Amino acid sequence: EAQVTQNPRYLITVTGKKLTVTCSQNMNHEYMSWYRQDPGLGLRQIYYSMNVEVTDKGDVPEGYKVSRKEKRNFPLILESPSPNQTSLYFCASSLNRVGEQYFGPGTRLTVT
Amino acid sequence: DQQVKQNSPSLSVQEGRISILNCDYTNSMFDYFLWYKKYPAEGPTFLISISSIKDKNEDGRFTVFLNKSAKHLSLHIVPSQPGDSAVYFCAASKGGGADGLTFGKGTHLIIQP
């Protein structure tokens, strides 16, 4: 089954404790991206990757890092999480940059 | 500066009637538009798209209309069904999609029985 998986689905952590949210897709897609969804703000792109070892900043990259060492995986790293990063995070992938994006189920992160 | 705007946070429609969701954009470089549907506790799912070379695209009960001169697109759902109750996001991409997708804030569609 074609899918995008994210782990964990729910995470509560404390300020400053490094965390990683994993994202994996099994569709051999080149393009992957991370979004955050906040009430009243819709979906905002954090980072995207056009292929292995190629990443670039989206609209709200501050406080986040990503890596793309393999085509299928695109982890989101928060080196020092802060409360304003409490949000719902979605990973997505697509065959190309303009193509229909397939979204993961989301990770709800709370930083206290 | 919001480049993709969905000015109605919510919309209530009776089952069986037509639902019309609207979206406006400001960037004339956008040339590909998509609609996504999102249920609670799930990721958004692709619904329908339209290229700027077209003014209409239809898929079953869903039709998207694009008015380039007005920088406006709309999603029509006919007839509306209870399972259509969800948040609908409009998204846009520009030439080659170098920046990926820019999303609107979403419209919560509620289908009343």
What is the chain A residue with the closest CA to B51? A98
Those residues of chain A that have pLDDT short of 70 are 97-98
Going by C-alpha positions, the residue among B51, B22, B21, B46 that lies closest to residue B35 is B46
Best CA proximity match to A107, nearest among B40, B41, B89: B41
Residues A51-78 as b/e (b if ≥16 CB within 10 A, e otherwise) read eeeebeebbbbeebebbbeebbebbbeb
Q: Is the pLDDT of residue B96 over 80?
A: no
Q: How many angstroms separate the CA of residue A25 from the nearest CA in chain B?
A: 14
pLDDT at B110 over 80: yes
> Given this model, what pLDDT does residue A1 score?
83
What gap in Å lies between CA A19 and CA A21, rounded to an integer?
Answer: 7
- What count of other Cβ atoms lies within 10 Å of the Cβ of residue B31? 17
Nearest to A42 among B96, B99, B106 (CB): B106
Per-residue pLDDT, B99: 63
Give me the residue from A42, A58, A59 closest to B104, CB to CB: A42
Interface membership of B101 toward A (CB under 8 Å): yes
Higher pLDDT, A41 or B13: B13
Looking at chain B, which residue has its C-alpha nearest residue A4?
B43
pLDDT for the residue numbered B95: 65
Q: What is the pLDDT of residue B97?
A: 57
Interface test with B, best of A6, A24, A101, A108 (most B CBs within 10 A): A101
The minimum CA-CA distance between B37 and chain A, rounded to whole Å, is 11
The predicted model gives B46-54 an average pLDDT of 93
Give the end-to-end CA distance of chain B in Å, rounded to a whole number.
38
Q: Given a cut of 60, is residue B51 above it in pLDDT?
A: yes
pLDDT digits (tens, 9 = 90+) for A72-91: 999 999 999 999 999 999 99
Q: Are B37 and B104 in contact (CB under 8 A)?
A: no
- Per-residue pLDDT of B62-83, as tens digits, reads 999 999 999 999 999 999 999 9
Give the Cα separation of B97 and B51 in Å (integer): 12
Nearest to B43 among A31, A41, A103 (CB): A103
Considering only the beta carbons, identify the residue of B89, B98, B100 that sits closest to A42: B89
Q: Do B97 and A97 touch (CB under 8 A)?
A: yes
Pairwise CB contact (< 8 Å): B97 & A98:
yes
Q: Report which of residues B6 and A42 the model is more confident about.
A: B6
The answer to whether residue B94 scores a pLDDT higher than 70 is yes
